[in-house]
Each structure stands twice: as structure tokens, then as C-alpha cells.
């Protein structure tokens, strides 16, 4: 059974390109356009990684991470935060909220898969 990755990003094109790249790499993808929608996906189904943007409407990335860490089922889910290079603070905040790692935008396909493989096989 392929691993399932949940994406949360409010940009449709980012969602599409992530979906495209991840599916080509053999993962199954669920895509949500904000934190709330992503959280709704966490309803018991099997998810192996959460890839979330930082800035999102409704529930933002940070809130999403904290919420995920509070669930029973997904407490130890690997989480990667999408961010840009300038925001060192974000990386720190996200880590404190419980993120496993981060991925700097812009990223290449290789970089994406390479980073992913740090937290999921």
C-alpha cells in the first residue's frame, strides 16, 4: 500500500505541483486548501505524512501542527512545514509546535523527495 501524504496549502498551483510530484514518486496524496480542511481529513484514515504551508486562511500551519499533536491517532505523525528562507523564526516556532522538519520554498522536485525521505519511507 503506497504511503499517503496530506498536503495543506492555500495555493492551488502548489497543491497541484506537489500532488503531481508526489504521485509520480509513488505516494498517494490528499490535498487540503487550508488548515481546517486538512484537520478534517484527519478522521481516522491512514496518513503517513503531513506537508503543510505556514500561512493559510482559517487554521494556519502552526495551529494545525499543534492540533495534530493533540490528537491521539496522529500524535506522532511526521510533519513538514513549507516555508521560505527568510523566516528563521517560523522554523523555530514550527519546531516548538511539534513539526518534524521543514522544506524551503522554492524547492526542486529532487529536493522535495530528498527531504521527504528524511521522515518517511
User: By the criterion CB under 8 A, which residues form the site for other proteins?
Assistant: 1-2, 10-14, 16-17, 20, 43-46, 55-57, 69, 72-73, 75-79, 82, 84-86, 95, 98-102, 104-107, 111, 117-121
Q: How far is the CB of 7 from other proteins (least distance, A)?
A: 14
Closest listed residue to residue 81, CA positions, set 63, 73, 70: 63
**Which residue lies nearer to other proteins by CB, 64 or 77?**
77
Q: How far is the CB of 38 from other proteins (least distance, A)?
A: 15
Residue 86 exposed, middle or buried by CB count within 10 Å (0-12, 13-18, 19+): exposed
HEC secondary structure over 45-63? CCCCEEEEECCCCCCCHHH
98's torsion region: left (phi>0), alpha (psi -120 to 50) or beta? left
**Which residue lies nearer to other proteins by CB, 36 or 69?**
69
Q: How far is the CB of 46 from other proteins (least distance, A)?
A: 7
**Which residue lies nearer to other proteins by CB, 36 or 55?**
55
Q: How far is the CB of 54 from other proteins (least distance, A)?
A: 8
Distance, CA of 80 to CA of 115 (rounded, Å): 9
Amino acid at each position: 500500500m503506497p504511503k499517503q501524504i496530506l498536503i495543506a496549502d492555500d495555493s492551488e498551483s502548489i497543491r497541484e505541483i506537489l500532488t503531481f510530484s508526489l504521485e509520480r514518486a509513488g505516494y498517494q496524496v490528499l490535498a487540503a486548501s487550508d488548515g481546517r480542511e486538512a484537520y478534517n481529513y484527519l478522521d481516522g484514515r491512514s496518513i503517513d505524512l503531513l506537508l503543510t504551508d505556514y500561512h493559510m486562511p482559517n487554521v494556519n500551519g502552526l495551529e494545525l501542527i499543534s492540533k495534530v499533536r493533540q490528537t491521539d491517532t496522529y500524535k506522532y505523525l511526521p510533519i513538514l512545514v513549507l516555508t521560505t528562507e527568510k523566516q528563521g523564526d517560523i522554523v523555530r516556532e514550527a519546531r516548538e509546535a511539534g513539526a518534524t522538519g521543514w522544506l524551503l520554498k522554492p524547492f526542486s522536485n529532487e529536493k522535495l523527495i530528498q527531504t521527504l525521505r528524511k521522515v518517511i519511507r
